[in-house]
């Protein structure tokens, strides 16, 4: 059973837009917003200065996660700072309560998993509901990671080297527009956004590519350690949990690629004591009546609903 907790309205903000000299002013604004949040279970992010956590990685040595070269050295065994076979955040069974409602009711669901590493979700999901799925494709930017994966992965799941920011297009080689029902990401957005220089643009590019690949009624699912629910707590988010830069970049990419779609956004809180959160962006193409110009969606039009989930194990 889902429980609605609140709503976040995310506006695009970038780390470079943040003015630290406004800190004093900002903390007063944050207090006010947090008061409103606890009173109304509602958070409005409509002021750049509120977003003081945008410089979220200062002081943390994480930018290497954004680099394809870093992952290539991890998966080829040259860098042992990260276990190449670790499964990040949640497994297929833990994620299934969030995904089953997104499966197509009338035909097998085609799923693309981006940045899959060596432990993709797809084999586990297929094992749980074999008949529910059609094409299953797991991709990663690292050739060494995909080589490692292809040695063990079952034949019903394809795997390929591909950069999630721009999958190859074109007959025979590429992924056609509107060819998937679900695009899954676990930890790749978190890796990309570690780059202070390119993080926002790279996450927006991932979202834009997902928006291109998704059919109407399809969804982009992002599993992340950022915690949108932190905005509802009295203290607000700390630097490492502020989800707003991530959500803003995702909405920017989705709306830029498919502004004619309605984007339904949800942030699920599987377990308040454990950090992974599940962000779901549903694409619904609107019907356009003849002679009328289509409605266009901008990031600021998208409301992100915050939900708890009692089914999480």
Q: Which residues bind ligand SAM (CB under 6 A)?
A: 68, 71, 87-88, 114-117, 119, 140-142, 145, 163-165, 186-188, 191-192
**CB contact at 8 A, 244 and 13:** yes
CB of 39 to ligand SAM, least distance (A): 37
CB of 222 to ligand SAM, least distance (A): 11
- Report the alpha-carbon distance of residue 223 to residue 90 in Å, rounded: 8
Tell me whether residue 52 or residue 221 sits nearer to ligand SAM (CB atom): 221
**CB contact at 8 A, 124 and 92:** yes
Tell me whether residue 191 or residue 220 sits nearer to ligand SAM (CB atom): 191
Sign of the torsion angle spanned by Cα atoms 181, 187, 192, 193: positive
CB of 300 to ligand SAM, least distance (A): 27
Tell me whether residue 165 or residue 200 sits nearer to ligand SAM (CB atom): 165
CB of 80 to ligand SAM, least distance (A): 15
CB of 149 to ligand SAM, least distance (A): 10
Tell me whether residue 17 or residue 197 sits nearer to ligand SAM (CB atom): 197
Tell me whether residue 26 or residue 94 sits nearer to ligand SAM (CB atom): 94
CB of 92 to ligand SAM, least distance (A): 11
Tell me whether residue 79 or residue 87 sits nearer to ligand SAM (CB atom): 87
CB of 103 to ligand SAM, least distance (A): 20
Tell me whether residue 141 or residue 255 sits nearer to ligand SAM (CB atom): 141
């Amino acid at each position: 059973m889902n429980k609605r907790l609140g709503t976040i309205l995310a506006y695009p903000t970038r780390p470079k837009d943040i003015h630290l000299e406004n800190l004093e002013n900002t903390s007063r604004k944050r207090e006010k917003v947090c008061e409103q949040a606890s009173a109304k279970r509602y958070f409005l992010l409509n002021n750049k200065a509120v977003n003081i956590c945008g410089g979220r990685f200062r002081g943390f040595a994480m930018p290497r996660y954004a680099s394809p070269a870093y992952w290539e050295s991890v998966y080829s065994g040259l860098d042992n700072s990260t276990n190449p076979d670790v499964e990040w955040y949640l497994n297929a069974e833990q994620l299934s309560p969030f995904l089953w409602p997104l499966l197509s009711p009338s035909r097998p669901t085609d799923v693309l998993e981006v940045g899959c590493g060596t432990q993709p979700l797809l084999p586990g999901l297929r094992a749980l509901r074999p008949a529910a799925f059609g094409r299953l494709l797991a991709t990663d930017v690292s050739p060494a990671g995909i080589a490692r994966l292809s040695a063990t992965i079952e034949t019903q799941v394809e795997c390929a080297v591909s950069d999630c920011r721009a999958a190859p297009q074109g007959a025979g080689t590429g992924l056609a527009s509107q060819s998937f029902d679900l695009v899954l990401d676990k930890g790749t957005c978190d890796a990309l956004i570690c780059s202070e220089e390119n993080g926002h643009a790279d996450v927006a590019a991932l979202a834009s590519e997902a928006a291109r690949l998704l059919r109407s009624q399809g969804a982009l699912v992002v599993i992340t350690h950022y915690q949108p629910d932190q905005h509802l707590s009295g203290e607000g988010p700390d630097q490492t949990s502020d989800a707003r830069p991530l959500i803003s970049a995702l909405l920017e990419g989705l709306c830029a690629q498919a502004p004619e779609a309605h984007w339904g956004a949800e942030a699920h809180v599987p377990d308040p004591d454990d950090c992974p959160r599940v962000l779901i962006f549903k694409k619904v193409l609107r019907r356009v009546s003849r002679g009328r110009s289509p409605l266009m969606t901008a990031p600021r039009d998208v409301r992100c609903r915050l939900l708890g989930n009692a089914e999480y194990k």
